[in-house]
Amino acid sequence: IPKGEELVQAILDLKKEKNAVILAHYYQPPAIQDIADFLGDSLQLARQAKDTDANMIAFCGVHFMAEAAKILNPTKKVVLPDTQAGCSLADGCSGEGLRAMRAKHPNAIIATYINCNAETKAESDIIVTSSNAETIIESLPKDRPIIFAPDKNLGRYLAKKTGRDMIFWDGSCIVHEAFSMERIAQQMASVPEAKLIAHPESESAVLDLAHFVGSTSALLNYVEKDEATVFIVATEEGILHEMRKRAPHKQLIPALVFDESCNCSECFYMKRNTMEKLYLCMKYELPEITMDEDLRLRALKPIEAMLDMSK
């Protein structure tokens, strides 16, 4: 495997040779963010995947995101640098579990966060992402309860914002759940001019302290546009790379997590992807995302319902 600048060049050569597009999430390692054709949050990347005319999509994110790309654009070859790039939310929720919830609450609408696998999507009525969840939940029929899966923290935040009657799946993000309200309060006390900004996958105790709560893209825009110059950032720290590019003069402090021996807030799954693995997956066109067509079509329906509602 080439190293350093040669590795960067080898990936660019493969991209040309194979007419590939590299899509990367903001939580990816900085070198991958820098080489990507499109950098985005889960909704932006799903749209890019749907609209690309490249032959191959090298998806640098986690498995459910690459799977969503395949669902939306099945004729393209979708490769993921590391198939172990999972997600605690997706891994903790099954289609079978959602079916059981529907049987218990037959009148409910199932709104599922995009952080789930294809089987789970196939059992859902509509998919949401963190950037469109509030608008979509607000526009669902008011006379029916909503089952929200798999993230109970995002679900509780949405229930509070929209006032809707919601039943939650008991899932959480291991990264955002690790933020410590007590330690963040200490950070705020020691840097009183800082604003705390948080992703809604964080626990409500952290969200209650925050000056601003928003999706990955909303947090980026906030740091760029807000008049404050110091921010404590309670989300995955890969985002700091793009925040620094967009707001180079602002000071960004990663929020502290419970484990005092670790000041990091990295998603271990996202960081399984490396430049070396990206090179290998483009070269050998493996590991490839494949899916049964019947499952794909069932999973596509609620994603299309989301895209129609968030134009």
b vs e for 255-265, b when ≥16 Cβ sit within 10 Å of the residue's Cβ?
A: bbbeeeeeeeb
Radius of gyration of the chain (CA): 19
What angle, rounded to 10 degrees, do the helices at 275-284 and 4-17 form?
Answer: 30
Q: Which residues have a Cβ under 8 Å from the Cβ of 17 and sit 6 or more positions away?
A: none
Coil, strand or helix: which one is 56? strand
153: contact with ligand SF4 by CB under 6 A: no
Q: Could you say which of ligand SF4, ligand 13P, none residue 33 binds, taking C-beta under 5 to 8 angstroms by partner kind?
A: none
How far apart (Å, rounded) are the C-alpha atoms in residues 58 and 273? Answer: 11
48: contact with ligand 13P by CB under 6 A: no
Q: Could you say which of ligand 13P, ligand SF4, none residue 130 binds, taking C-beta under 5 to 8 angstroms by partner kind?
A: ligand 13P
CB nearer ligand 13P, residue 172 or residue 180: 172
Distances in Å between the alpha carbon of 62 and those of 109, 166, 253? 27, 27, 25
- Residues 171-210 interacting with ligand 13P (rule: CB under 6 A): 173, 201
52: contact with ligand 13P by CB under 6 A: no
117: contact with ligand 13P by CB under 6 A: no
267: contact with ligand SF4 by CB under 6 A: yes
118: contact with ligand SF4 by CB under 6 A: no
Q: Could you say which of ligand 13P, ligand SF4, none residue 269 binds, taking C-beta under 5 to 8 angstroms by partner kind?
A: ligand SF4
Q: Which residues have a Cβ under 8 Å from the Cβ of 250 and sit 6 or more positions away?
A: 223, 228, 229, 230, 231, 243
179: contact with ligand SF4 by CB under 6 A: no
32: contact with ligand SF4 by CB under 6 A: no
b vs e for 108-143, b when ≥16 Cβ sit within 10 Å of the residue's Cβ?
A: bbbbbbbbbbbbbbbbbbbbbbbbbbbebbeebeee
Question: Which range, of 168-176, 213-221, 242-250, 299-307, touches ligand SF4 by CB under 6 A?
Answer: 168-176
- Which one among 112, 115, 172, 273 touches ligand 13P, defined by CB under 6 A? 115
Do 81 and 281 contact (CB within 8 A), yes or no? yes
Q: Could you say which of ligand SF4, ligand 13P, none residue 88 binds, taking C-beta under 5 to 8 angstroms by partner kind?
A: ligand SF4
Residue ranges for the binding site for [4Fe-4S] cluster? 87, 173, 267
Binding residues, as ranges, are 25, 42, 87, 113-115, 130, 173, 199-201, 216, 267
Per CB under 6 A, residues contacting ligand 13P are: 41-42, 115, 129-130, 173, 201, 215-216, 236
